[in-house]
A = this chain, B = another copy of it.
Amino acid sequence: MVAERNETKILLAIVENDPLYKQALESIFSLSPEFELTGLWGDTETAVREISRRYPHIVLMDIQLPVIEGIACIRKLKKVNPAIQFLVFTDYDQDDELVFDAFKAGATGYLLKKDGPELLIKSIKELHAGGSPMSRSIARKLINFFGRYPAIDGKEHLLTKREEEVLALLSEGKMYKEVAAWLGITMETTKKHIKHIYSKLEVQNRMEAVNKWRS
């Protein structure tokens, strides 16, 4: 049901600082019938400026020093165009925090340059299909990360009674002011409850909250 995405090309944009890689990537993707190269930029500033006019499905994002710049670029672009998938393409895999920050910023894939072009192409397809391709060492880091923290959950008393009431009314499609009227509180208080709900469930809107709560 998720449409005929398979019939169309994968729209790819590339941010690559290294001129050699830049040329190599261009020759790979500009000629392939499965991809359409909608952008090829050498720096993040140009990328930020151009990307909204190119609307790629995937952005292959080279991250070099300064690392912060690439991460910030992903975060910025992800905020504007949440639909775009970012595949980090870098040499750096030693610094755990860098890797985590990339994912926090919105990257959904993390590939090392040494992995080679075949895996790169495979990863882009995988990413476009909804997957999260990453190099083995990166995957290991992610797994280990969850060992660092006690893996909280519980979930039973995640939401308070009042918050559950609010969420139940939200799930019926009621507007904030209707929820407020129903509970006999002001709309601002209703908003406050909703903000807490979203924060606790780590979601950004009503639909996601309801889905998460129902699941």
Among the stretches A39-47, A61-69, A144-152, A173-181, the one at the interface with B is: A173-181
Number of copies: 2
Size category of the A interface is 35 or more
| Cβ contact within 8 Å between A83 and B173 | no
* Chain A 178-204: CB-based contact to B (< 8 A → 1; otherwise 0): 101111111000000000000000011
Could you tell me the dominant secondary structure of chain A's interface residues? Answer: loop
Chain B contacts of A72 at CB under 8 A?
none
Contact string against B for A residues 73-93, beta-carbon threshold 8 Å, 1 for contact and 0 otherwise: 000000001111000000000
Q: Does A25 contact B (CB under 8 A)?
A: no
Check A83/B177 contact, CB under 8 A, given A2-B168, A2-B182, A3-B186.
yes
10 contacts between A and B (CB under 8 A): A1-B164, A1-B165, A2-B185, A83-B177, A83-B180, A171-B211, A172-B211, A173-B204, A206-B207, A207-B210
